[in-house]
Amino acid sequence: MRAVSADGQEMTVQNILDWMQRTHGWTVTMLLHGFTVLYDSGEKEGIRALMKKQRLSATLENAGEPQQRVLKLEYVCEEEDAETEATRPPLMCFLP
């Protein structure tokens, strides 16, 4: 997916979560780039709110990762079994 919002800016984590819900009907409980957690529904509400409003590249920069334009995101969805999780393809995001 092209990770650009309607206003031409890089998408936030919330934009990605909304897109996955709208496009696939998935409620994402965890969103990762490698070992970097972009979103975890198990976190406290305040931390989740901060995670959601971060732009994808800002989250990775804060984790000390080098700047990238193509991101391979892994995700875990609500009510998902281990077999489904293991066979689900990653989400490829292309940043502006």
* Residue 1 counted as domain residue: no
Nearest to 16 by CA among 63, 52, 60: 52
For residue range 31-80, what is the model confidence (pLDDT) as tens digits?
998 888 999 999 999 999 999 999 888 877 777 777 778 888 999 888 76
* Residue 8 counted as domain residue: no
Distance CA 17, CA 52 (A): 8
Between 84 and 90, residue with greater pLDDT: 90
CATH number of the domain encompassing residue 30? 3.10.290.60
- pTM reported for the whole predicted model: 0.83
- Report angle CA 26, 13, 84 to the nearest 5 degrees: 30
Q: Which domain holds residue 36?
A: 13-94
pLDDT of 58 reads 81
How confident is the model over 75-93, as a mean pLDDT?
77
Report the 3 state secondary structure along 56-96: HHHHHHHCCCCCCCEEEEEEEECCCCHHHHHHCCCEEEECC
**How many helices and strands in the chain, by DSSP H and E?**
4, 4
* Residue 22 counted as domain residue: yes
> With bands split at pLDDT 50, 70 and 90, how would you rate the model's confidence at 81?
low
* Residue 6 counted as domain residue: no
pLDDT of 8 reads 83
Number of domains in the chain: 1
* Residue 5 counted as domain residue: no
